[in-house]
Amino acid sequence: MKKTLTLTAGLLCSLNAWAMTPSNEPIQPILPAKITDPAKVELGKQLFFDPRLSLSGFISCNSCHNLSMGGSDNLQTSIGHNWQKGPINSPTVLNSSMNVAQFWDGRAADLKEQAAGPIANPGEMAFTHSLALDTLRSIPQYRDAFKAVYKVDKITIDAVTDAIAEFEKTLVTPHSRFDRWLLGDKEALTQVELEGYKLFKDTGCTTCHNGPAAGGNSFQKMGLVEPYKTDNPAEGVAALTGKDADRFKFKVPTLRNVELTYPYFHDGAYWKLEEAVDVMARLQLGRKLSDDEVGKITAFLKTLTGEQPSFTLPILPPSTNDTPQPKPFE
């Protein structure tokens, strides 16, 4: 009897939250990840943290997408193999499953395709897929795990990137204060934060930063009204299409967890969120905001920080006598 009561109460409660979801808001709440294949996710997590997928044996996905720091490296541009200066700011991997495509210019269609890039990129992990596979195949625990999850006798790059992508899909950040407000908890935001949200909408930020990720779903020109000045040579989508109209078009970044993912923009030129807000209003919308308005929008943006992925740090299986040795100084 007691059980039925709680069940009904729970159902009413969630119906209530659903009914109160303001469906006309441009940003929707992030839903918690549904894990259907925990063994695959666990394997992907190990690979995400395993530096032996790099030539140096030192750089893992987590080096540049640090899950203790909002899924980014908090550097202007990343540091790759041999301390190479990276070409562009590292976007967060948090909520990246919601992106319309991956990379600033969208050159990878999805997370699986993306994951094949960094391992073999000479400026990032500087390995080859075949050496990465030799490494994994030399470790019996990895052989067993891939066999259990993918029914393969020989580990393939397809399985490696699939497992990493499956892990990345779990890196969503629900339950931010803003989402709690969206779901009906009117106490979740302060008056200043609410005013910031109203300004964010009224100024026109939501034309580009909308949907559950508050971005990630379109490519837009950086410097629509006023040109953006930068020394960074990145061309945006034009690098793929060769079209002049695509010059300086970048994927609109998600504003989820933006409080954690400084410095800002593809060149990482701005460290302060207030500055990024001011630049956006001027360059994208032709609006000069007052310090007070910038402060309020910034206060709102910080309510988009969600629950960070939390899990046990994976313990990686040891190398064997057959594992290729790392070459950190080549």
Positions in the binding site for ligand HEC (CB under 6 A): 59, 61, 63-65, 78, 80, 86, 88, 90-91, 93, 96, 99, 102-104, 111, 114-115, 118-119, 124-125, 164, 200, 203-205, 207-209, 220, 222, 224, 250-253, 255, 258, 261, 264-266, 276-277, 280-281, 284-285, 297
Cβ at position 301, least distance to ligand HEC in Å: 6
Q: How many CB atoms lie within 10 A of CB 303?
A: 21
- Is residue 20 annotated as involved in ligand binding? no
Cβ at position 179, least distance to ligand HEC in Å: 18
- Is residue 129 annotated as involved in ligand binding? no
Judged by beta carbon, residue 3 or residue 166, the one nearer ligand HEC is: 166
Alpha carbons within 13 angstroms on the beta-carbon side of residue 78 total: 26
Catalytic residue among 42, 124, 166, 168: 124
Judged by beta carbon, residue 159 or residue 280, the one nearer ligand HEC is: 280
Cβ at position 66, least distance to ligand HEC in Å: 10
In three-state secondary structure terms, 95 is: coil
Cβ at position 306, least distance to ligand HEC in Å: 15
Cα 106 from Cα 317, distance rounded (Å):
34
- Is residue 280 annotated as involved in ligand binding? yes
Judged by beta carbon, residue 87 or residue 184, the one nearer ligand HEC is: 87
Judged by beta carbon, residue 90 or residue 173, the one nearer ligand HEC is: 90
Q: Is 42 a catalytic residue?
A: no
- Is residue 69 annotated as involved in ligand binding? no
DSSP label at 128? -
- Is residue 205 annotated as involved in ligand binding? yes
- Is residue 81 annotated as involved in ligand binding? yes
Judged by beta carbon, residue 184 or residue 328, the one nearer ligand HEC is: 328
Cβ at position 191, least distance to ligand HEC in Å: 19
Catalytic center residues = 124
Q: Which residues are annotated as a binding site?
A: 61, 64-65, 81, 205, 208-209, 280
Q: Which residues are annotated as a binding site for heme c?
A: 61, 64-65, 81, 205, 208-209, 280
